[in-house]
Amino acid sequence: MLNSKDRVAIYMESNLDSDYGKMGMGVIRYLKNPITCVIDSNHSGKKIKLFTDTDRNIPIVSSLEIAIEKKTSVLILGIAPSGGKIPKEWIPIIEKALKSGISIVNGLHELLLPSWKQIIKKNKNQWIWDLRTPLFVPKIATGKASKLKNKRILFIGTDMAVGKMTAALEIYRFLDKNSESVGFLATGQIGIILTGKGIPLDAFKVDHACGAVESTILEYSNKEIVLIEGQGSLLHPGSTSTLPLMRGSCPTHLILCHRANKKTLRSPKNIKIPDLKEFINLNESLTTVSGTFPKAKVIGIALNTSHLSKKKAQLNINDLEKKLKIITTDVVRFGPDKIAKAIIEN
């Protein structure tokens, strides 16, 4: 686990401007540790603001050697590609970092510790943190979360990588800053590194996934509001994450995350995104199962408008809000206060 004094570098070679770079982007935006640099030789010397909305002045450099010169103590592998495999061309860099005494944070499915533990045994201050390693075997879920008295807000999406984690973290920071009793349940590698706790949901066996969510949500019973980081989408044929999140947390409210103007999945593109009203009804129905579990309504839409001009973004927000009669905003561009207030009031 990171401590506040660790100086980190983010390795994003050839992925700083790709969809796979969301791990690094999440770290840049939210991690409080000092970040010495981002490594991507394709964009060396450019401003980080060209790639993500941040006030941090983080240099983009061309090599690990420069990161070492900057007294980096931890290297974060900053990509989250489909399948979670470590690129073969990254292996020599990982080896060089470890031999230089640098610790590594790895959020990919392919684990590093089994292959490299002999190296770090020589340095008691060095470690490898494979984020997607389940730390316990949960009991089978029993619906206990449905008996809790707090608000449990699950973030759902029309696709993968549409901003579920970002929306949850933005709203969490707003509520926390305003002294609300709020918790954030991290369910993916980025959330875990930022908070130091949570569950790597997609690393649990299918039968254990609901139980992992349930056991963790019960730990937040003392919080009046719990924000549950969403994963995947009911619509995506390669995702099985949404249902265990619903069953394990028994949410009381839902926030829909969607990329503005998107008509199909990012991949495979042959799958069309249905009418949003119908998609909302589907998620609400699956959550409550004919009243068996708490009735959860979509009370806000976090619209990702990063690819639109500010004027077009506002028009999209206004149109969707008028059509669906649900509070809608881009929580990064225009702030999370509208949705945060809806959570408090509902």
Q: What is the CATH number of the domain that holds 37?
A: 3.40.50.720
Question: 104 and 22, same structural domain?
Answer: yes
- Does 60 map to a domain? yes
Classify residue 242 as exposed, middle or buried by CB count within 10 Å of its CB (0-12, 13-18, 19+). buried
pLDDT of residue 314: 97
User: What tokens were used for 95?
Assistant: 């080896």
pLDDT of residue 18: 87
- When the pLDDT of each residue in the chain is averaged and rounded to a whole number, the result is 95
Residue with tokens 């969403």: 230
- Does 3 map to a domain? no
- Does 63 map to a domain? yes
Tell which of 78, 98, 130 closes a domain.
130
Domain count, the chain: 2
Question: 192 and 53, same structural domain?
Answer: no
- Does 316 map to a domain? yes
Question: 174 and 83, same structural domain?
Answer: no
Q: Report H helices in 75-123.
A: 91-99, 113-120
CATH number, residue 278: 3.40.50.300
- Does 2 map to a domain? no
3-state DSSP assignment of residue 118: helix
- Rounded CA-CA distance 314/320 in Å is 10
Give tens-digit pLDDT for 163-206. 999 999 999 999 999 999 999 999 999 999 999 899 999 999 99
Is the CB of residue 171 less than 8 Å from the CB of residue 155? no
Give the residue among 241, 242, 213, 206 at the shortest CA–CA distance from 146: 213
Residues of the chain with pLDDT under 50: none
- Rounded CA-CA distance 286/53 in Å is 35
3-state DSSP assignment of residue 124: coil
Residue 174 makes CB contacts below 8 A (sequence gap 6+) with 335, 336, 337, 340
- Rounded CA-CA distance 309/193 in Å is 32
Q: What is the DSSP letter of 257?
A: E
DSSP string, 166-230: HHHHHHHHHHHHTT--EEEE--SHHHHHHHS----GGGS-HHHHHHHHHHHHHTTTT-SEEEE--
- Does 137 map to a domain? no
Tell which of 68, 101, 130 closes a domain.
130
pLDDT of residue 320: 97
Percent of the chain with pLDDT over 90: 88
Question: 113 and 214, same structural domain?
Answer: no
Range of the domain at 321: 144-345
Give the residue among 273, 223, 214, 219 at the shortest CA–CA distance from 246: 214
Question: Cis ω on the peptide bond leading into residue 336 (within 30° of 0)?
Answer: no
- Does 1 map to a domain? no
Question: 211 and 69, same structural domain?
Answer: no
Residue with tokens 């980190």: 8
Question: 124 and 180, same structural domain?
Answer: no
pTM attached to this predicted model = 0.93
Question: 153 and 68, same structural domain?
Answer: no
Question: 173 and 149, same structural domain?
Answer: yes
